[in-house]
Chain A
Amino acid sequence: MAQNGNILEAQEVRKEFGGLIAVNDVDFVIPRKTIVSLIGPNGAGKTTFFNILTGVYKPTRGAVFFDGQPIGGLPPHKVTALGMARTFQNIRLFHNMTALENVLVAMHSRIRGGVLRSIFRTPGLKKEEQEAHDRGRQLLEFSGLRRKDEEYAKNLAYGDQRRLEVARALATEPQLLLLDEPTAGMNPEETANFTTFVAKLREEQDITVLLIEHDMKVVMGISDRVTVLDYGEKIAEGEPKEVQHNPRVIEAYLGTAATA
């Protein structure tokens, strides 16, 4: 796979669960430093597709390239180490760890640690831990979680839990960030703040973003490109405006009567 402007390429990716085709030969690219949204009705296969990209599922067929490198079948922790991070649709924080600890866990592939070094607490390790803690606190602050470091994740307010999920994903130092319905359950104000935050990520940290989202205001507001899935198939792709007026998309969302 030649190096080109795409950070991620999926070629004819297919996933079957028994007789059910959850993702049907989808071709998909994410150009570098863009915000791409993946939309579609409930059960369209968006999250399954996400899980294939991040290594949770192995595709039945097809190939996925990250930064020109094939990643199909790699376990999730290796995909993360390469520079892809994700959040979960139904928040999956480490509930009984503090906010800071959550973020520190995510630095796993970026710090050396080492069991023997930890037991003897060598000066190098002490310094590394100190730096990791500092970086973690900065990241929490950047994500809008100031002074929440020592709070257990499960005691955080819902919006803060969502923020912590993103902070944790950012701690893996990703080039590509995959957000699975990040604004679900947020009020309009929180949603607006979050949209600004995602835009800031791209501007300030050069992070490419893939977004699964139901809130069309968010999708149309920040996406460079939008891909629409329905019944596991890609039915439309393009700039937000084009997609918005695509009859197949309207049909998928509203039924045949709407286009008639």
Chain B
Amino acid sequence: MRRWALPIAVIALIVSYPLWAINEPFRAFFVDRLGMDMDTVFQMAVYVMLALGLNIVVGYAGLLDLGYVAFFALGAYTLGWFGSALFSGQNIHFLDVGNTAIPGFHLSFWVVVPLAGLICAIAGIIIGWPTLRLRGDYLAIVTLGFGEIIPDVFRNGDSIFGHNLTNGVRGVTQLDRPGFGQTVNDATGGFLPDRYSSLPDKLKPWFYTILFMCLVTIFVNLRLRDSKMGRAWIAVREDEIAASAMGVPLMRTKLWAYAIGGVFGGLAGSIYGSFINGIFPTSFSFQISVIVLVMVIVGGMGNIWGVIVGASLISWLNFTGLGKIGSLLNDGIPGHAHDVDVTKYKFGIFGIMLILMMLFRPEGIIPSARRKAEFKEGEGEAVLYDARN
């Protein structure tokens, strides 16, 4: 029972966050001091999802993917295609909660999100098919290339054979917001909101939606880790030749990792696009790929809880944490007025963090037992080879 006490307490605190943390007396600390307002918390959760998706690719299957942002972008643009007025020549509505007079494709948000996952899975297979034959550094370079190409495609997608598919640099705005519709709202006695945007504290349903999606991601991560596929991923990571000699099809196993990782990138992208209410090609830079990878590494590759902690910590620092720490330092040091803008040195600080982690705790904040063992490989290996000589 004691083993469960801590996790249950943590989950309870997270689930009830919008009920206590943003109200006095906690508001002074959580929102004013830490900068963990609902908006930030939502974005942190999006990054937790991204990191968990990349964890499957990098942490489980050991494929270094430097272009993960491509899936995030593709997921967001899926919402642009099926949940905005982008295609203004059309007027198709399907179970959505918006105004039927607005032109464009408008599928229900709850259809668009899984659709984004599906499209990213297919994209993952198409991208992975030629690239996953490569190993190690070569794979990293090619995925890096794809991460750069995809936003460029969206940037220049405003005139593909005369069709405007992405609205180019102007991006897609006025995206559909989620909601359950009047019928469901009435049926549940107002519990499930009609439209998120119509509520006075509209951030609350957003928070619970992303929380639910994170839980699904964690669940899938856990189940896959303990499955035939999960074992095959680790085997491929450990020794490709031995794995294939034991009947593990290398390409297919890697493609699954890549596609499933892509699914979560896509899911996160679609809800993020709706929340931000604007999708621009410039929002999907290489920085995102790197920062998500750093989350996975700092947290502890292959360990779900480590990845969640890493993603929460780094995304918090990224969004508001560094700024808040900076103002704390500026105010806290006595003497003449200080005005150091800490956020300007963000990437320098992240770089130093990463170097320090690699030096002192390369296995991550909460390492997986297996990874920890890998970093302590030395002794075991020596015995093995001595015996042969």
- CB-CB under 8 A from A90, the residues of chain B are 388
Contact with A along B164-203 (1 / 0, CB 8 A): 0000000000000000000000000000000000000000
Determine the distance from Cα of A115 to Cα of B56 in the docked complex, in whole angstroms: 13
- CB-CB under 8 A from B387, the residues of chain A are 158, 185
Determine the distance from Cα of A168 to Cα of B231 in the docked complex, in whole angstroms: 14
User: B24 within 8 Å of A by Cβ?
Assistant: no
Contact call A115/B227, Cβ cutoff below 8 A: yes
- B376 CB to closest chain A CB (Å) equals 10
Known contacts A94-B239, A154-B384: A172-B223 contact under CB 8 Å: no
User: B159 within 8 Å of A by Cβ?
Assistant: no
Contact call A111/B228, Cβ cutoff below 8 A: yes
User: A216 within 8 Å of B by Cβ?
Assistant: no
Contact with A along B303-338 (1 / 0, CB 8 A): 000000000000000000000000000000000000
Contact call A88/B242, Cβ cutoff below 8 A: yes
Determine the distance from Cα of A158 to Cα of B384 in the docked complex, in whole angstroms: 7
Known contacts A86-B245, A108-B246: A118-B228 contact under CB 8 Å: yes
User: A97 within 8 Å of B by Cβ?
Assistant: yes
User: A175 within 8 Å of B by Cβ?
Assistant: no
- CB-CB under 8 A from B231, the residues of chain A are 97, 101, 104-105, 108
Contact call A96/B223, Cβ cutoff below 8 A: no
- CB-CB under 8 A from B219, the residues of chain A are 119
User: A146 within 8 Å of B by Cβ?
Assistant: no
Contact call B245/A56, Cβ cutoff below 8 A: yes
- CB-CB under 8 A from A113, the residues of chain B are 227-229
Contact call B384/A105, Cβ cutoff below 8 A: no
- CB-CB under 8 A from B234, the residues of chain A are 94, 96-97, 101, 105
- CB-CB under 8 A from A161, the residues of chain B are 384
Contact call A118/B223, Cβ cutoff below 8 A: yes
User: A200 within 8 Å of B by Cβ?
Assistant: no
- CB-CB under 8 A from B248, the residues of chain A are 77, 105, 108
Point out the residue from B249, B381, B383 that lies within 8 Å of A77, measured CB to CB: B249
Most chain B beta-carbon contacts within 10 A, residue among A54, A93, A119, A184: A119
User: B256 within 8 Å of A by Cβ?
Assistant: yes
Determine the distance from Cα of A54 to Cα of B380 in the docked complex, in whole angstroms: 29
Determine the distance from Cα of A120 to Cα of B202 in the docked complex, in whole angstroms: 32
Determine the distance from Cα of A184 to Cα of B388 in the docked complex, in whole angstroms: 7
Contact call B383/A158, Cβ cutoff below 8 A: yes
Contact with A along B215-247 (1 / 0, CB 8 A): 000011001100111111011001101111111
User: A155 within 8 Å of B by Cβ?
Assistant: yes
- A47 CB to closest chain B CB (Å) equals 12
User: B356 within 8 Å of A by Cβ?
Assistant: no
- A89 CB to closest chain B CB (Å) equals 9
Known contacts A108-B228, A115-B260, A118-B224: A77-B250 contact under CB 8 Å: yes
Main secondary structure of the interface of B (DSSP, over half): helix
Determine the distance from Cα of A101 to Cα of B248 in the docked complex, in whole angstroms: 14
Contact call B380/A76, Cβ cutoff below 8 A: no
Contact with B along A237-250 (1 / 0, CB 8 A): 00000000000000
- CB-CB under 8 A from B247, the residues of chain A are 77, 80-81, 106-110, 172
Contact call A76/B244, Cβ cutoff below 8 A: yes
Known contacts A95-B238, A97-B234: A121-B223 contact under CB 8 Å: yes
Determine the distance from Cα of A79 to Cα of B383 in the docked complex, in whole angstroms: 32
User: B370 within 8 Å of A by Cβ?
Assistant: yes
Contact call A97/B235, Cβ cutoff below 8 A: yes
- A132 CB to closest chain B CB (Å) equals 8
- CB-CB under 8 A from B224, the residues of chain A are 115, 118-119
Contact with A along B370-389 (1 / 0, CB 8 A): 11011001001101100110
- CB-CB under 8 A from B246, the residues of chain A are 77, 80, 85, 105-106, 108, 168-169, 171-172
Most chain B beta-carbon contacts within 10 A, residue among A81, A96, A104: A96
Determine the distance from Cα of A162 to Cα of B62 in the docked complex, in whole angstroms: 26
- CB-CB under 8 A from A169, the residues of chain B are 246
- B312 CB to closest chain A CB (Å) equals 24
Q: Which of B343-389 contact A (CB under 8 A)?
A: 370-371, 373-374, 377, 380-381, 383-384, 387-388
Contact with B along A64-105 (1 / 0, CB 8 A): 000000000001111011000110101111111100010011
Residues of B in contact with A (beta carbons under 8 Å apart):
219-220, 223-224, 227-232, 234-235, 238-239, 241-250, 256, 260, 370-371, 373-374, 377, 380-381, 383-384, 387-388
Across the A-B interface, the 4 shortest Cβ-Cβ residue pairs: A113-B228, A118-B227, A109-B247, A154-B380
